[in-house]
Amino acid sequence: MIKGMMILADGFEDTEAIATRDVLERTHQIQVDLVSLTSRKEVRSSHNVFVLLHKTLMEVNEKDYDFVVLPGGKEGMENLKKDEKVRSLLLHFFKEGKLVSAICASPSILGELGILKGKKYTCFPGFQSKDGDYLNIAAVKDENVITGHSMAYSIDFGMEIIRYYLGEDGVRKILPGTNG
């Protein structure tokens, strides 16, 4: 089983978190733990929906995970960005060659950490990094970094993560359940 963690902070964007996790879990080969930035296992989305999470960041052993996902939402991104453990975890995963993924405003965190340097990426307009090569498309994979443009492309973002691990066959297998 491929195992990822999605780190959520108060103000995360609802669709970017839930739709991405939903698509990944539909493979039955990828498991995504929802991880709270704080000591609380309940977080508030950008639209005031409260979500109960699996673990807190303090309970996580990073060795148990193959990848990390950061949803966007401006407030959620700001909360993630200022947390030193998140920053350290992202750099560690990146340097170890593990997949680092972020959507909407959150690729800006990767940019600040130098992870996007020389890489193609996408994000919500206004959150571009000076170091990377911005593409105005749904989702971008460049080596062990996957970025998504915005909430409207959450499924595409999730599919790109599936493609990274399971190839086109993995994507094809879940399409009937997503397209009807």
Q: Which CATH number belongs to the domain containing residue 134 in this structure?
A: 3.40.50.880
Three-state SS at 40: coil
Greatest C-alpha distance within the chain:
42
Looking at the structure of the chain, the number of domains it has is 1
Split at pLDDT 50, 70, 90, the class of 85 is very high
The pLDDT value recorded for residue 178 is 79
177 in a structural domain: no
Q: Are 23 and 175 in contact (CB under 8 A)?
A: no
Taking the CB of residue 158, how many other CB atoms lie within 10 A of it?
Answer: 31
Range of the domain at 114: 2-172
Three-state SS at 32: strand
- Select the more confidently predicted residue: 66 or 129: 66
The pLDDT value recorded for residue 179 is 78
Please check the confidence at residue 10 and state whether its pLDDT lies above 80. Answer: yes
* pLDDT per position as a tens digit, 108-150: 999 999 999 999 999 999 999 888 999 999 999 999 999 999 9
Please check the confidence at residue 180 and state whether its pLDDT lies above 90. Answer: no
How does DSSP assign 102-149, residue by residue?
A: EETTTHHHHHHTTTTTT-EE--STT---SSSEE--SSEEEETTEEEE-
26 in a structural domain: yes
> Closest Cα partner for 17 from 76, 67, 58, 91?
76
> Closest Cα partner for 80 from 155, 3, 6?
6
Please check the confidence at residue 169 and state whether its pLDDT lies above 90. Answer: yes
The pLDDT value recorded for residue 44 is 99
Split at pLDDT 50, 70, 90, the class of 60 is very high
* pLDDT per position as a tens digit, 26-37: 999 999 999 999
Three-state SS at 73: coil
61 in a structural domain: yes
Torsion of CA 10, 34, 28, 22, to 10 degrees: -10
179 in a structural domain: no
